[in-house]
Amino acid sequence: MGFRDVILKPKFFVYLGCFIVLLFLPKILPIYHLILFESGITFAIMALGFNLLLRYTGLLSFGHGALFATGAYAVGMMGEYFPDLYRIEILIPVALAGSFVVSTIFGFICVRHTRVFFSILALALSMVLFALLVKLYNITGGSDGIHIDLPIIFGKSFEGMKRFEFLSGVYYYLLICVFAAATIIMLAIVNSPFGKALQCIRDNEVRAEMIGIRVRRYRLYSFILSGLFTGLGGAMWSFVNGHVTPEIAEWVFSGEIVYMTLLGGFMVFEGPIIGAILFTYLRLYAVSITQYWMFLIGATLIILVLLLPEGITGGFVKLFSKMKRAPSTGVA
């Protein structure tokens, strides 16, 4: 199934309706909530890539924060060392190139193993990158990080403009277009023969090898694609946040990526998108309520796993299916 098959699906028109609604959000939401929503959208792009590994390949990574940081730091370091090239049409390809290199290295090492060994290797590699970002102070800014300036977008400079004005204007529509393109591309990937091969590997690795699928190579391709989406999310997030620090490469943020995917429901394609946006608001309100907000987040995760293991979207799909199958009752 390719792009044409995806576009002809009825679900595409639902996506189109959502996209149109998103275009009008700047006129509805207050600026603060709009910027928070933009942060959630960048996490959603990242979560789409993460779920390619989790759901479709059957690999759980605890190191995707490093790939997210790669995209964000690629933007920051371009602004720091190559200010003449600080244009959005250059920054995004550079972030993707950096993510490709790092995810290829990580993937080459990690996909030789599965299950807990894969997860631990990904975690260990991410902490190596985190340590490099902290220790290489003269290059990365160390724990202070790098400030992200407003980029030039298709020849238009925004120098002197306040960040909230930039984020609520041109950048918002650019972000929505990038998010829409990422969603359609991921839909095409998971419904393509490549995506079906990944699911075959996930379900039965031995059978996949017997029918001629090169398991390790396909896992590497899946890891690289996942890293590209994650790095793209990091690059787009850097402009929203305005500053990047090594903490996004740490294991804590990688755990948050897992959390937001489980929150939305990783068995439904749209689940990670919804989970990423909800997590952005959930973390904000948890921080505003108590200084022990991580305890609150952890408690909700335990409740979620025990009562709603399919996530929010999975729970709704299950409920809808039960209602659809339930026999209608009436009085004769």
pLDDT at 328 over 60: no
Cα separation, 72 vs 233, whole angstroms: 8
CA-nearest of 279, 269, 88, 58 to 183 is 269
Q: What is the pTM assigned to this prediction?
A: 0.92
pLDDT confidence of residue 46: 97
Token readout for 28 is 């509805």
Average pLDDT over residues 109-131: 93
pLDDT confidence of residue 331: 45
pLDDT digits (tens, 9 = 90+) for 228-249: 999 999 999 999 999 999 999 9
pLDDT at 9 over 70: no
pLDDT digits (tens, 9 = 90+) for 254-277: 999 999 999 999 999 999 999 999
**Rg, the chain, Cα only:** 20
pLDDT confidence of residue 4: 54
Write b or e for each residue in 66-86: b if 16 or more Cβ atoms lie within 10 A of its Cβ, otherwise e: bbbbbbbbbbbbbbbeeeeeb
Domain boundaries, the chain: 3-251
Cα separation, 108 vs 106, whole angstroms: 6
Task: Identify the burial level of 90 via C-beta atoms within 10 angstroms of its C-beta, where 0-12 means exposed, 13-18 middle and 19 or more buried.
Answer: middle
Cα separation, 270 vs 67, whole angstroms: 21
pLDDT confidence of residue 332: 39
- Contact between residue 36 and residue 199 where contact means Cβ atoms under 8 Å apart: no
Q: What share of the chain is helix, strand, coil (3-state, %, to 5)?
A: 75, 0, 20
pLDDT digits (tens, 9 = 90+) for 275-291: 999 999 998 888 888 88
Average pLDDT over residues 94-115: 94
What own/partner pairs with CB < 8 Å and gap ≥ 24 does 11-15 have? Answer: 15/180, 15/183, 15/184
pLDDT confidence of residue 312: 87
Band of pLDDT at residue 5, cut at 50, 70 and 90: low
pLDDT digits (tens, 9 = 90+) for 162-173: 999 999 999 999
pLDDT at 8 over 60: no
pLDDT confidence of residue 1: 47
Fold assignment, 3-251: ABC transporter involved in vitamin B12 uptake, BtuC (1.10.3470)
243: β partners: 147
Q: How many CB atoms lie within 10 A of CB 139?
A: 14
Band of pLDDT at residue 315, cut at 50, 70 and 90: confident
Choice between 16 and 6, residue whose per-residue pLDDT is larger:
16
Band of pLDDT at residue 49, cut at 50, 70 and 90: very high
Hey, what amino acid is at 300?
A: T
pLDDT at 104 over 70: yes
